[in-house]
Amino acid sequence: MSAIALRGPERVVLAQHRWALWVMGVLPVLALAALTGTWLWTEHVVDAFASTGCSVVHTTPDCGDTVETYLNRRLWMQDVLSWSGLLMLVLPAFVGIFVAGPVIARELESGTYQLAWTQSVTPARWLAAKLAVPTVVTLVSVSVLSAACTWAQGRADRAHQGQEWHERTVYGSMGTVPIGYALCMLALGALVGLVLRRTLTAMVVTVIGYGALVAAFNSVRNNLWPTLTDTFKQGSDYRFPDGAIDVGTGWLTHSGRRLPHDACLEWAPGFKQCLAEKNIDLRYFDYHPASHFWPLQLVETGILLALAALAVALAFRVLRRRHG
């Protein structure tokens, strides 16, 4: 995107905030280079270690230093993935802060918006431009970052170096959820900036709003898609599915009624008598398998986009009521 290709308020927005927008554009390039470079280097280390004839499982005294060096270097890939996931977690907050403060509230606070409105630019067109340019840059940047994190995590999983898909830094850095959070915070930042009209206050409130949004979804995410349930006899060789999220566990009576896990404690005296008295027949596990990653992602993203659309509609309504 260049200032030459744009006209009117969009070009002004790009000129005003070009450095911040450039940073947003460069971030995915740097992240992609870091993830790709780290993965290629890790692959080289793995191949070099294989040629030494040493083994991580059966380490001999002669291979002690070689194995330690090999394991330390493999950890670099996990560190890069962790930092990438952390970046994806804080990026939506920075998007919201940027729009709420420098893009919207600062102009209203300083009164510079009046100059644009005297140049045949309506308030609605002014706000649309303030949202359109950051939206395009954010959408492209976060999409590339998310794709890079998804690719790197997939490679790490195949090499048994990855983290669990439901960990917050992993789940929040892959798929469509990062895009949903970024666009939602962009819209929320615009609304907060219009309502408060104070740069610092708008930025602080936007950060608080992001924290509340993340906390809310963390508490309800497991309910966004139906769980699977496994039942088994107490003492059987049941094995919990690899990579699944444990949503809930307890007891089932003969009639199918659910009882909490602490209804009968395995380590307590009279455990078998407790099972008999309460007519308990089976144990159950509610869980989300790894195959639920995309359904959970898409439902959460849909809710975030709906919230973003609502925030944008409210922002234009606030603007219209205050300025016509």
Among positive and negative, which fits the CA dihedral 258, 259, 264, 266? Answer: positive
Same domain, 217 and 88: yes
Q: Where in the sequence is the domain holding 145, given as residue range(s)? A: 8-223+294-323
Same domain, 188 and 279: no
Same domain, 215 and 89: yes
Same domain, 185 and 302: yes
Same domain, 244 and 313: no
Same domain, 12 and 155: yes
Task: Give domain status of residue 2, yes or no.
Answer: no
Residues 270-306: tens digit of each pLDDT: 888 999 989 988 999 999 999 999 999 999 999 999 9
Take residue 311 and report the two structure tokens written for it.
């925030």
The answer to whether 317 and 247 are in contact (CB under 8 A) is no
Task: Give domain status of residue 74, yes or no.
Answer: yes
Distance of CA 218 to the CA centre of its chain: 10
Task: Give domain status of residue 1, yes or no.
Answer: no
Which pLDDT value is given to residue 149?
86
The answer to whether 45 and 74 are in contact (CB under 8 A) is yes
Same domain, 152 and 236: no
Same domain, 235 and 149: no
Q: Which residues contact 231 (CB under 8 A, 6 or more apart)?
A: 252, 282, 283, 284
Which pLDDT value is given to residue 260?
92
Same domain, 127 and 91: yes
Task: Give domain status of residue 155, yes or no.
Answer: yes
Same domain, 137 and 193: yes
Same domain, 19 and 167: yes
Which pLDDT value is given to residue 3?
43
Same domain, 125 and 84: yes
Q: Could you give the 3-state DSSP secondary structure of residue 260?
A: strand
Domain count along the chain: 2
Task: Give domain status of residue 139, yes or no.
Answer: yes
Task: Give domain status of residue 3, yes or no.
Answer: no
DSSP 29-87: HHHHHHHHHHHHHHHHHHHHHHHHT--SSS--GGGHHHHHHHHHHHHHHHHHHHHHHHH
Element (H, E) at 250: strand 245-253
Q: Point out the residues of the chain with pLDDT beneath 50.
A: 1-4
Task: Give domain status of residue 51, yes or no.
Answer: yes
Residues 26-53: tens digit of each pLDDT: 877 787 787 777 777 777 776 777 777 7
Which pLDDT value is given to residue 317?
93
Task: Give domain status of residue 239, yes or no.
Answer: yes
